[in-house]
Amino acid sequence: MKAKISFTLLFLSIVFLSSSCTKTNTVIKAPTPSLMELLTGKQWIYDSVYTNYTGPNTGTVVYARGGASNTYMRDDARFVFWSDGYEDTFDAATPTAGYEVQKWEFINPADSTQLYYPVYNQIATPDYQRIIKLDATHLSLYDSTYQALDIFEYQP
């Protein structure tokens, strides 16, 4: 009889322990931001600029942040793209010596990787750029009009 009670208690203990509450680990993922959200409303600064760029491992570095022998000076340049199709440019090297506004748009809103700058303010010819890389802290634009690669960093 004692063996039966012991076996029953052991069985009940196993059932009770194995049926105790378990937590489900639920991970809530934030929605992936769109290209528009990654691009706009942020201040971007130059990291580097390449001219005569036609593809990977091509071109000449004419600006590198912190570089001693830059051909172009872009240390003070700041850009903010806005979702309404305007870009604020702050750059002492511009013809306006400070601030100007540029228009831009996506060539194909469904694609959102190709930018078009129409003739506007300081832009004398239409300009086409393609987003090569865009994440929360980096932006790389290939400028097919001027065969340049502009690499930017997010500046909070």
Mind listing the pLDDT tens digit for each residue in 81-110?
Answer: 999 999 998 987 666 668 888 899 999 877
The DSSP bridge partners found for residue 143 are: 129, 148
The pTM score is 0.75
Matching residue, tokens 């003739």:
119
Report domain extents, the chain: 35-154
Alpha helices in 46-92 (DSSP H): none
Q: Which has the minimum average pLDDT: 119-123, 132-136, 137-141?
A: 119-123
Q: How far is CA 148 from CA 3, 11, 23, 63, in A?
A: 86, 75, 54, 11
Helix (H, G, I), strand (E, B) or coil at 29: coil
Surface-to-core class of residue 144, CB atoms within 10 Å of its CB (0-12 exposed, 13-18 middle, 19+ buried): middle
Mind listing the pLDDT tens digit for each residue in 19-76?
Answer: 555 556 678 888 888 889 999 999 999 999 999 999 899 999 999 999 989 998 899 9
Determine the topology of domain 35-154 in CATH: Lipocalin (2.40.128)
d(CA 35, CA 32): 9
pLDDT for position 24: 66
Residues comprising the chain, all counted: 156
Residue 44 φ/ψ, nearest 5 degrees = -110, 140
